[in-house]
Amino acid sequence: MKDPIFRRLLQLHPKFSDLSLGRINQLLKKIDFNEKKLPKVIHIAGTNGKGSTAAILKSIINQHGYSTHVYTTPHLVNFNERIQLNSKNISNKKLLEYLRYCEKKNEGKLITFFEITTAAAFKAFQDHKADFLILEVGLGGRFDATNIIKLPKFAAITPISIDHQDFLGNSLNQIAFEKLGILNNKSINYINKQKPNVMNFIHSEIKRRKLKAEFFGNDWKIKSNHYLSDNINIDLSYLSLRGKHQKINAGLAIHLAKNILKDKLNITQTHKALSRCQWAGRMQPITNGLFFKKLKNFKDITLDGFHNIDGMNTLIKNLPINRKILICSFLNNKKYTQMLTKLSQNFQKIIVIQMNEENSITEKDLPINLELIFCSSLKSSLKLINQYSNSQTSIYFGGSLYFIGEFLKLNQSKKLNQSK
């Protein structure tokens, strides 16, 4: 959806944005936000797997007959994807209504785009009834705009790795400290699988803050493709999402559902929920669409938003042994040189695209020691992809989630005006 309000809200962004909750708290007071009117909150922070965990959990809860609101970022194609009311994207009419209301109440004061749109989402969630609200953190946790929940909640931490160092710190411990900011003494806390040093730090923080938490490996396990906890055994082979890492995400989602639904968790319904779960842009097979139809020779096509090093390593672990080519793009504040270096060792050809984003990498950003092919747009890469692929080639589109969004938007379009 295109509307002038998005440009106006972006113009309110402070030149030097500090991480704090002051601005959103002030706005929430002006819009008469009442946390007590929200559904039961499930708050999810971490570096990788937040969205997948939220999608799987939503599927399980819905399959058991309960309703969910969902807040997730970023969107891939339409902004409406960020705010789901009863599991459906908010309508254009309602979205504009809440954005304009918050814009008016903000009275032109400096506020980040994420803060004011989060305030609009909270107002929408407050006004519409549901059983649960699945709330995904935007950045970090401690000072994230979603972290204004004071009432008891469920809080979950997905795998933590290096990302957003400009805001969260350069070490894993610093980043983990910020992510753990969503936990409090009123929340019921769950910690998913982590790197050993990160898990050690989390254990020490939980102990220092005198919090209670349940941990992957202690309170639930993934063994032989099954989720195991107490006397519950869930077969993860039903999961529709591809990749071994999604089994880890599913384990956390199931453990959350087990504690949320308690004795109402049904194994058969959980298996159905796993099989019906959808999450775009994460090891997603592409089997139709306009761009798909323009590709001539290939074995299969996969779309994956691996936007950091751990995400890239996860993709590499799941690659097939046949010929592979990668079409990718990254933001220029990511460790793209390090990623492209390793990716070059795992793909026969790599085509790098300049996105329609202000901070997209460009041709001058590419490391000169690597054999990379540059294209100024996704459309213009089509001829090259067909040139380098054959019937045994697996084609991957990946990198930045903004690039994933560009692909999906182009693939869903009705006409492809191919650049020369």
**Residue that finishes a domain, picked among 276, 306, 337:** 276
φ, ψ dihedrals at 120, nearest 5°:
-65, -40
**Does residue 419 lie in a domain region?**
no
Q: Are 120 and 54 found together in one domain?
A: yes
Please list, in sequence order, all residues whose beta carbon lies within 8 angstroms of the beta carbon of residue 329, skipping any fewer than 6 positions away: 352, 353, 354, 355, 360, 361, 399, 400, 402, 403, 406
Q: Is the pLDDT of residue 165 over 80?
A: no
- Residue 417's pLDDT is 63
Q: Are 214 and 297 found together in one domain?
A: no
Instruction: Write out pLDDT tens, residues 346-390.
Output: 999 999 999 999 899 999 999 999 999 999 999 999 999 999 999
Give the chain as a 3 state SS string.
CCCHHHHHHHCCCCCCCCCCCHHHHHHHHHCCCCHHHCCEEEEEECCCCHHHHHHHHHHHHHHCCCCEEEECCCCCCCHHHHEEECCEECCHHHHHHHHHHHHHHHCCCCCCHHHHHHHHHHHHHHHCCCCEEEEECCCCCCCCCCCCCCCCCEEEECCCCCCCHHHHCCCHHHHHHHHHHHCCCCCEEEECCCCHHHHHHHHHHHHHCCCCEEEECCCEEEECCEEEECCEEEEHHHCCCCCHHHHHHHHHHHHHHHHHHHHHCCHHHHHHHHHHCCCCCCCEECCCCHHHHHCCCCCEEEEECCCCHHHHHHHHHCCCCCCEEEEEECECCCCHHHHHHHHCCCCCEEEEECCCCCCECCHHHCCCCCCCEEECCCHHHHHHHHHHCCCCCEEEEEECHHHHHHHHHHHHCCCCCCCC
Q: Is the pLDDT of residue 330 over 90?
A: yes
**Does residue 206 lie in a domain region?**
yes
The residue that leads in pLDDT, 418 or 241, is 241
Whether the Cβ atoms of residue 116 and residue 103 lie closer than 8 Å to each other = yes
Q: Are 255 and 403 found together in one domain?
A: no
- Residue 55's pLDDT is 97
**Does residue 76 lie in a domain region?**
yes
- Residue 152's pLDDT is 87
Q: Are 246 and 352 found together in one domain?
A: no
Q: If you search the block for the tokens 């440009």, which residue do you land on?
A: 7
Q: Are 124 and 219 found together in one domain?
A: yes
Angle between the N-to-C axes of helices 244-261 and 267-276, in degrees from 0 to 180, rounded to the nearest 10? 140
**Does residue 418 lie in a domain region?**
no
Q: How much is the mean pLDDT over the chain?
A: 94
Instruction: Write out pLDDT tens, residues 12-45.
Output: 999 876 778 999 999 999 999 999 999 999 999 9
Q: Is the pLDDT of residue 120 over 60?
A: yes
Q: Are 111 and 185 found together in one domain?
A: yes
306 lies in which domain range?
284-412
Using alpha carbons, select from 241, 238, 221 the residue that is nearest to residue 229.
Answer: 221
**Does residue 330 lie in a domain region?**
yes
CATH number at residue 63: 3.40.1190.10
Count of beta carbons in the 10 Å neighbourhood of residue 15: 5
Confidence of residue 167 (pLDDT cuts 50, 70, 90): low
**Residue that finishes a domain, picked among 276, 300, 335:** 276
Instruction: Write out pLDDT tens, residues 297-320.
Output: 999 999 999 988 999 999 999 999
Using alpha carbons, select from 138, 136, 95, 130 the residue that is nearest to residue 9.
Answer: 95
Q: Per the structure, how many domains does the chain have?
A: 2
**Residue that finishes a domain, picked among 247, 276, 305:** 276
Q: Is the pLDDT of residue 420 over 70?
A: no
Instruction: Write out pLDDT tens, residues 242-257.
Output: 999 999 999 999 999 9
Q: Are 205 and 261 found together in one domain?
A: yes
Using alpha carbons, select from 362, 353, 363 the residue that is nearest to residue 402.
Answer: 353
**Does residue 83 lie in a domain region?**
yes
Q: Is the pLDDT of residue 71 over 60?
A: yes
Q: Are 307 and 404 found together in one domain?
A: yes
Count of beta carbons in the 10 Å neighbourhood of residue 169: 16
Q: Is the pLDDT of residue 166 over 70?
A: no
Instruction: Write out pLDDT tens, residues 266-285.
Output: 999 999 999 999 999 999 99
Give 187-232 as a 3 state SS string.
CEEEECCCCHHHHHHHHHHHHHCCCCEEEECCCEEEECCEEEECCE
Instruction: Write out pLDDT tens, residues 172-230.
Output: 999 999 999 999 999 999 999 999 999 999 999 999 999 999 999 999 999 999 999 99
The residue that leads in pLDDT, 89 or 151, is 89
> What is the Rg, in whole angstroms, of the alpha carbon atoms belonging to the chain?
21
Report the C-alpha gap between 319 and 107 in whole angstroms.
51
Q: Are 271 and 312 found together in one domain?
A: no
pTM: 0.93
First to last CA, the chain: 28
Q: Are 75 and 154 found together in one domain?
A: yes
- Residue 342's pLDDT is 96
CATH number at residue 312: 3.90.190.20
Q: Are 59 and 142 found together in one domain?
A: yes
φ, ψ dihedrals at 375, nearest 5°:
-130, 140
**Does residue 417 lie in a domain region?**
no
Q: Is the pLDDT of residue 419 over 60?
A: no
Confidence of residue 164 (pLDDT cuts 50, 70, 90): low
Report the C-alpha gap between 48 and 305 in whole angstroms.
11
Q: Are 271 and 384 found together in one domain?
A: no
pLDDT (mean) for 142-162: 92
Report the C-alpha gap between 174 and 167 in whole angstroms.
10
**Does residue 28 lie in a domain region?**
yes
